[in-house]
Structure 1
Amino acid sequence: MTQFRAPGSEPGQWSGLGHLERDLVLTDEDFAKIRQLIYQRAGIVLAEHKREMVYSRLAKRLRHHGLTRFSDYLERLARQPDSREWEAFTNALTTNLTAFFREMHHFPLLAEHISKVRGPVRIWSAAASTGEEPYSIAMTLHEVLGARANDARVVATDIDTEALARARAGVYPIEQVRKLDDERVRRFFHKGRGQHEGLARVRPELTSMVEFQHMNLLAPQWPIKGPFDAIFCRNVMIYFDKQTQARILERFAPLLKPDGLLFAGHSENFSYISKVFRLRGQTVYTLA
């Protein structure tokens, strides 16, 4: 959002918004530059109404460096193209909204599909966030495959390094885990005690199945290899423009087995974006 200041602010800035004021200076030019940079780095399209989000999320980075103007922060990034601050910039503007077995209808479809696979099963979670999705996939594999799950693998990638660190740790608030049925909680989690009271940790038999990797879907080279029995790319394409979506779908195709499944988010529709995939039903796609 543009800087909220008292009357007499510099030209090019918004002033006021009722009683609300901000201590950091974000101009329209700064916001436009941030939108351009996050699109170039991560393919994320930030709408005009995301000013408040941009301000609140990046304000922590400015204060960390003792800065008061977003323009100074952007100049710092420009001067240091290889700085790790670019990673913090991207992490700050990445949305991580997830839950165990989110969009529940996908998992019975996955279970039915992998029950027919005769060799080792490989699944890719392409927007793994803090780990709830890949661990939900791993639970499903255990429940369907039994002892064969020891040979199954879930490749989990995300652009947000902080989210991936939490995913690797596999520790979650107990309130979040209790939303699962009792059998899954008992089978797949250790409940914390003492100083870890109120937390739950994913059991080793699940964590050993999941390989977390940092990856940008816009990168010219992806550090993973197929083929996969299924690819989960849910609720991330909505942040890309149609051109970027089409390009990513084309890159998914050779990594998916001929009979493999592509799972999309509930608000995503790929039918009019690419001819590579066809809709099977309920935001699940197969190769055309």
Structure 2
Amino acid sequence: MSEFAAGTDTGVKRSGDYAARDLILTDADFRCICELIYQRAGIVLAEHKREMVYSRLAKRLRHHGLTRFSDYLARLKQQPEAREWQAFTNALTTNLTAFFREAHHFPLLAEHVRQVRGPVKIWCAAASTGEEPYSLAMTLQETLGAQASQSRIVATDIDTDALKRAQAGVYPLEQVRKLDQARMKRFFQRGTGRHAGFARVRSELCAMVEFMPLNLLAPRWPLDGPFDAIFCRNIMIYFDKQTQADILRRFAPLLKPDGLLFAGHSENFSYISPEFKLRGQTVYTLAK
């Protein structure tokens, strides 16, 4: 039996959902966590992320009936293939997203795909809980009409829990209501009965998106390029400069010669990679 079998209640007193420091996280533990998540996912955790680390990983310790982070980390290192590694990674991954986040990118994408001959292929490299790839699918539907059904959006993320939510395509109604009425009516079905308060992405939109887990640090990416566009927004900020440069170098052969690379609003690749040049508004093209 795996050492990571679910544990029992430790009997520790808690204050709400966040325990009153019932678990022991030492400086050495925090440094170890930073090293492990960097090795696994390339994520750089600064000192100010310590409270976040405690809060998120505390749930994993309690799940296994542990009270010391050192015990949890020791078990992880003893079992390099344990499924708990995925839970560890999921816990430390940030999933901040929204429909049509950074809205100026989508008219640029629409303008670009109008000029594409044949089916459009897009890679969303940080799909999170699905809002971004579904926004891409909506843009293609609005721009290409019936031809959009031939398009393919590959949506990847390292967080398998987020991907499950993305594949389900179900969102709180208050989140969907931030879209205009035309998009709500065209692309979503409002839940009733026990599903009241939620909305589901319509099947024709879901059919355009293929979700799959992918670690950008993996030695091989199981992707069938080249793509007309790559969306890699608001994830590079979690990597150091060398990791960013390595990923951008690997992006280059997966992008068509006239393809577009979309970055996040706080990301600047101009001084990181010779493979790409800035077109404007955090959009890049291959440097020819």
TM-score, normalised relative to structure 1: 0.93
- What is the RMSD computed on CA atoms of the aligned residues? 0.7
Q: Deviation of residue 118 (structure 1)?
A: 1.4
The match for 1:139 is 138
Distance 2:180 2:114 in 1: 22
The match for 1:119 is 118
The match for 2:226 is 227
Distance 2:195 2:285 in 1: 43
Between 98-107 and 142-151, the greater mean CA deviation after superposition: 142-151
Distance 1:274 1:146 in 2: 36
Runs of 4+ in 1 over 3 A off after TM superposition: none
Q: Deviation of residue 253 (structure 1)?
A: 0.3
Q: Deviation of residue 223 (structure 1)?
A: 1.0
Distance 2:32 2:224 in 1: 35
Matched, 1:193 2:153: no
Counting only pairs closer than 5 Å after superposition, residues 55-204 of structure 1 correspond to structure 2 as 55-204=54-203
Percent identical among aligned pairs is: 79
The match for 2:261 is 262
Deviations 1:187-233 (A, max 9, x none): 00000000000000000010000000000000000011201000000
Distance 2:77 2:236 in 1: 27
Deviations 1:112-140 (A, max 9, x none): 00011111100000000000000000000
Q: Deviation of residue 21 (structure 1)?
A: 4.3
Structure 1 letter corresponding to 2:149: N
Distance 1:227 1:119 in 2: 13
Deviations 1:15-47 (A, max 9, x none): xxxxx9400000000000000000000000000
Structure 2 letter corresponding to 1:39: Y
Deviations 1:135-163 (A, max 9, x none): 00000000111111111010000000000
Distance 1:283 1:223 in 2: 26
Distance 2:86 2:178 in 1: 32
Matched, 1:210 2:209: yes
Distance 2:149 2:198 in 1: 26
Name the SS of the counterpart of 2:171 in structure 1: strand
5+ unaligned residues in a row in structure 2: which ranges? 1-18
Name the SS of the counterpart of 1:127 in structure 2: coil
